Structure 1
Amino acid sequence: MATIALDQFVAAPPAAVWRALTEPELVRRWWAEGDIAAEVGHEFTLDMPGFGAQPCRVVESVPPERFVYTFTTEWTLAWELRAEGRGTRVLLEHSGFDLDDKRMAAAFERMGPGWRDVVLPRLAETAAAL
């Protein structure tokens, strides 16, 4: 299984980034509509434009340091927040890509740049505005 591993500096403290990752109205601003919550075992959906509601389940929540949830039935998103100077280093691991599966390999190729160039910068903007 392959993993997309990225990091993004955010000019906001870990508590603000945590809020941006775990509060539905803030997640909607930078990524997708959904009923996310930072409680282990919480099941929710994220409504991905063009793909519909994707099932998710929180598997780890350590405020304001680590937030992990399944995304669809195949992937896991693990967010780690580290205080850095006057901001936060956000580390993302999007795992579970079977590169032998043509569909998954194509998703892997698209999602890396999407996270890096679009989604993580939008997360940074959202958190910095809090």
Structure 2
Amino acid sequence: MSSAAPETRTVVVEREFAHPPEKLWHALTQPHLIAEWLMANDFVPQVDHRFKLKADWGVVDCQVVTIEPHRTLAYSWEALGLDSVVTWTLTPTATGTHLRMEQTGFAADQTRAYQGARFGWPRFFDGLEQTLVRLD
């Protein structure tokens, strides 16, 4: 009998932005901008850097896993028993950037966290769009 890893779920949000990848990268990696659209933080764009995202409901403990400027950013996301990874992928398009956010690691019994992410990330994308427009 094989001991397969417990099945996990993933939340994916994708959106086209009429802004170049460099501009999205700036909004994804600058602490004062992250605070505008996501949460208060002490982010530093450097592999292995540990940082916290702070919201009214609590704190998310994170650690930078991957950085490829203007292309990929990934960090661990641990909060309220959830041990997940958030990966941002930026792909240039003819009119701007295709942004893909994937959060992996929701256990089958973490329905509340999973639903919260499914509901929350599109709203964070809306905030990101507003931040990008303001940067014009």
Percentage of pairs with the same residue:
28
Superposed CA deviations along residues 36-91 of structure 1, whole A, max 9, x for unmatched, are 1211111110102212x221000000001000000116011000001112311100
Distance 1:108 1:37 in 2: 26
State the Cα RMSD in Å.
1.2
Q: Please give the TM-score of this superposition, normalised by the length of structure 1.
A: 0.90
Q: Which residue among 45, 52, 69 is the counterpart of 1:45? A: 52
Letter in 2 for 1:71: W
Q: Which residue among 5, 20, 32 is the counterpart of 2:12? A: 5
Structure number with the bigger relative contact order (C-alpha 8 A, sep ≥ 6) is 1
Task: Give structure 2 stretches of 5+ with no counterpart.
Answer: 1-7
Letter in 1 for 2:128: L
Task: Give structure 1 stretches of 5+ with no counterpart.
Answer: none
Distance 2:86 2:107 in 1: 15
Letter in 2 for 1:8: R
In structure 1, the partner of 2:105 is 96
Letter in 2 for 1:74: D
Total equivalences in the alignment? 125
Q: Contact 1:14–1:88 (CA<8 Å) still a contact in 2?
A: yes
Kindly report which structure 2 residues correspond to 1:105-124, keeping only aligned pairs within 5 A, or say none: 105-116=111-122, 118-124=123-129
Deviation, 1:110, is 2.2
- Runs of 4 or more, structure 1, over 6 Å off, are none
Instruction: Answer with 1 or 2: which has the greater Rg.
Output: 2
Deviation, 1:2, is 0.6
